[in-house]
Structure 1
Amino acid sequence: MIDEAQYDNDWSMIGKIIFDSNKDIFMVFSGSSALELSYNADSARRLLKIPVCPLTYAEHLKLKYTYFKNDISQSILNLIFEGKLPEEHLESKILKIYSSFNNYKANELENFIKYGGFPTSFNQDAHEIIKTNVDMIEKVVTTDMGNIKGINGQTSYLASQLLYFFALQNPGEISKGSMANHLDSNKMTINKLLELLEKTQLIFHVEPFTSSAKRTTKPFKYYFATSSLKHILSMNLGNANLEAKEAYMSKLFENFVASSFFNLKNRSNVMYNTYYDSNKKNVDFLVQRGLDTPVPIEVSCGKKDKSQIKTAMNKYKSDYGIIISNTTRNIVEDDNIIYLPPQIFSFM
Structure 2
Amino acid sequence: MKIIERLLTNRMLAELDAGKVIILLGARQVGKTTLIRSVYGGEGTIYLNLDIQIEQARLQAAGDLTPEAAIGYLGGGDTIIIDEAQRLPAVGRIVKGWYDSDLPVKCVLLGSAGLNILDKTAEPLTGRNIKYYLTPLLFEEVLRHQDWFGEGIDLSRFGSQIELLRQQFLVLGGYPEVITNSDPVLVLQTVYQDYLFKDVYGLELVGSRAKLQKLLSLLAYQVGSEFSTHELANQLGISRNTIDRYLEILEDTFVIFRLQAWSRNPRKELSKKSKIYFWDNGIRNAAINNFSPFEQRSDQGALWENFMVSEMIKRDLTLDQRQRFYFWRTYSGSEVDLVIQKDESLRAIEIKSRSTRLSSKIFENSYQTRVELVHPGHYLDYVMG
Corresponding residue of 1:40: 119
Quote the residue 2:241 is aligned against.
188
Identify the match of residue 371 of structure 2 among 317, 321, 329: 321
Name which of 209, 217, 227 aligns with 2:262: 209
Residues 1:181 and 1:344: Cα distance change in structure 2 (over 3 Å) = same
Q: Secondary structure at the match of 2:335?
A: coil
Q: For the residues of structure 2 that align with 1:212 and 1:23, how far apart are their CA atoms?
A: 54
CA distance in 1, matches of 2:236, 2:165: 36
- Could you say which residue in structure 2 is the equivalent of 1:230? 284
Q: Which residue, out of 136, 142, 145, partners 1:63? A: 145
Code of the residue aligned with 2:384 in structure 1: it is F
Partner AA of 1:262 in structure 2: I
Partner of 1:13: 93
Give the Å deviation of 1:206: 0.7
1:1-348 paired onto structure 2 within 5 Å: 1=80, 2-31=82-111, 33-35=112-114, 39-44=118-123, 45=126, 46-65=128-147, 68-69=150-151, 93-96=154-157, 98=158, 104=161, 106-125=163-182, 128-140=183-195, 142-148=197-203, 151-154=205-208, 156-211=209-264, 218-234=272-288, 236=289, 238=290, 245=296, 248-279=299-330, 280-292=333-345, 294-307=346-359, 309-318=360-369, 320-326=370-376, 329=377, 341-348=378-385
Change (3 A) 1:47 1:185: farther
The one-letter amino acid of 1:231's match is N
Displacement, 1:114? Answer: 1.7
Cα distance in 2, alignment partners of residues 212 and 12 from structure 1: 43
RMSD across aligned positions (CA): 3.3
> Partners in 1 of 2:104 and 2:381 — Cα distance?
47
Paired residue total: 299
Unaligned ranges ≥5, structure 2:
1-79
Is the CA contact 2:281–2:306 (under 8 Å) kept in the aligned structure 1?
yes
- Does the 8 Å contact 1:274/1:288 carry over to 2? yes
Measure, in 2, the Cα distance between the counterparts of 1:133 and 1:36: 25
1:188-238 alpha-carbon deviations (Å, 9 max, x no partner): 11111111211111111111012599999712111111223223333x1x4
Inter-CA distance 37–177: structure 2 relative to 1 (3 Å threshold): closer
Which one is further off, 204-213 or 270-279? 204-213
Measured in 2, the distance between the counterparts of 1:286 and 1:219 equals: 14
Structure 1 Cα separation of the partners of residues 343 and 115 of structure 2: 33
Q: Which amino acid aligns with 2:240?
A: K
Checking the alignment, whether the CA contact within 8 Å between 1:299 and 1:323 is kept in structure 2 is: yes
Which one has the bigger strand percentage? Answer: 2
| Shift of residue 303, structure 1, vs aligned partner | 4.4
Amino acid at match of 1:345: Y
The superposition leaves residues 126-167 of structure 1 with CA deviations (integer Å, 9 ceiling, x where unpaired) of xx3233223323345642112336x2441x333222221121
CA distance in structure 2 between the partners assigned to 1:239 and 1:269 by the alignment: 32
Rounded Cα–Cα distance in structure 2 between residues aligned with 1:239 and 1:106: 18
Determine helix, strand or coil for the equivalent of 1:28. strand
Q: Give the superposition deviation at 1:185.
A: 1.2
Following TM superposition, by how much is the alpha carbon of 1:181 offset from its aligned partner in structure 2, in angstroms?
1.8
**Counterpart of 1:302 in structure 2: which amino acid?**
R
| SS of equivalent to 1:295 | strand
Distance 1:35 1:296, change over 3 A: closer
Structure 2 SS opposite 1:133: helix
In structure 1, the gaps of 5 or more residues are 72-91, 330-340
Alpha-carbon distance in 1 for matches of 2:271, 2:380: 37
Give the distance between the partners of 1:12 and 1:324, measured in 2 at CA: 44
Equivalent residue of 1:95, what SS?
Answer: helix
Alignment-derived partner of residue 65 in structure 2: none
TM normalised by structure 2 equals: 0.67
- Opposite residue 365 of structure 2, the aligned amino acid is N
Amino acid at match of 1:43: A
Partners of 1:43 and 1:216 lie apart in 2 by 35
Which of the two has greater helix per residue?
1
Distance apart, 1:104 and its partner CA:
4.1
Cα distance in 2, alignment partners of residues 145 and 213 from structure 1: 37
State the secondary structure of the residue aligned to 2:83: coil
Q: CA deviation at 1:170?
A: 4.7
